[in-house]
Amino acid sequence: MLQILFYTAALVAVISTVLVITNANAVHALLYLILSLIASAVVFYLMGAYFAALLEIIIYAGAIMVLFLFVVMMLNLGTQTLDQERRWLEPSAWRWPTAMATVLLIEFLYVFLGGGRNPTGHIVTPKEVGITLLGPYVLAVELASMLLLAGLVAAYHLARPEVRR
């Protein structure tokens, strides 16, 4: 049973990722991207990595949702954009994402309401994640911080307006 659940979620992830790449409309592509991230979160969940699944939802899907909101807010300039938004919300746009998201929801509810009937492998707790990160992987955490520093400096430099001396 677990295998069926896994392959269904994986299939949703693959299909939605392909649609992200092929979709010409940026907003539709973003919708599929969120769906793809939720599908991978469900895969994590099925494998017992509850913490990773939560982070996937909070950080990726959440952050991308915010990005999505920003895009909508920036585009929302007047009445002509209302038509545009109405066109975005045609059934053909949301039919498939909703169908796939429903599949994921059913899977989640099935496992959740099953109450441990479905074996999920070793359950990784946040405490374990923390001990690993600050134990053997402490240098990785420090290195990641330097990586982010480099990225931050790069983004600052490339995005700033030119200064006249």
Partner 1 sequence: MISAVDLIALLPLLILTGTAILAMLAIAIRRNHRLVFLLTVAGLLGALALVPMAANMTPRTVTPLLLVDRYALVFTALALAAGLVVVCLCRSYFGVRADQPEEVYLLILTALLGAGVLAAGRHFASFFLGLETLSVSLFALIAYPYRDERALEAGIKYLVLSGAASGFLVFGMALVYADTGTLEFSALISASSTLTIIIGTILIVAAVSFKLSLVPFHLWTADVYQGAPAPVTAFLATVSKGAVFVLLLRYAVAGGLGQAPALVNVLSLLAALSMLAGNLLALRQDNLKRLLAYSSIAHMGYLLIVLVAGSKVSGSFAAEALLFYLAAYFVTTLAAFGTITVLSPSDREAESLDDYAGLFHSHPWPATVLASALLSLAGIPLTAGFVGKFYLFAAGGLGELWTLLALLVVGSGLGLYYYVRVIFQMAKPSLDIAGKPTAPAPLEAHLVLVVLLVLLFGLGVYPGGVIDLLTMAALR
Query: Whose CA is closest to 101, among 30, 18, 25, 12?
Result: 12
Chain positions contacting partner 1, by CB under 8 A = 135-140, 142-144, 146-147, 149-151, 153-154, 156-158, 160, 162-165
25 contact partners, CB below 8 Å, separation of at least 6: 88
At residue 131, φ and ψ (nearest 5 deg) are -65, -40
| Distance in Å, CB of 91 to partner 1, minimum | 34
Other beta carbons less than 10 A from residue 10's beta carbon: 15
Of 41 and 100, which has the nearer Cβ to partner 1? Answer: 41
Of 103 and 129, which has the nearer Cβ to partner 1? Answer: 129
| Distance in Å, CB of 75 to partner 1, minimum | 25
Of 37 and 101, which has the nearer Cβ to partner 1? Answer: 37
